[in-house]
Amino acid sequence: MSEVGAVQIPVYNRSDPALWFIMCESTFKLAVPKPITESVTKFNYVVSHLPPEVASLVRDILMNPDDTDPYTHLKTELINISGESSQQ
């Protein structure tokens, strides 16, 4: 019987979303019994761990996810939003 492990997504890092995504991606690679590679699955894990105030910033993406690569689209947008807010 193979071991099944729960994916442990870290707490969202408001000050450094790029680092948070790297940590999530490491978790996806370590998933048991096999790594998580599907964009939709990654998207759903990440969305389920976003604080409500952060989810509100990307509401349009959450309501209408990209058909081809929702995870990368969300990741790019959150990192861009973080960069914009840190420049203000």
Per-10-residue mean pLDDT of the chain, 88 residues long, equals 70 96 97 94 97 97 98 97 69
Give the integer Cα–Cα distance in Å for 81 and 54.
Answer: 10
Boundaries of every domain in the chain: 39-87
Sequence-ordered list of residues with C-beta below 8 angstroms from that of 35, at least 6 positions apart, any chain:
28, 29
Reported pTM: 0.88
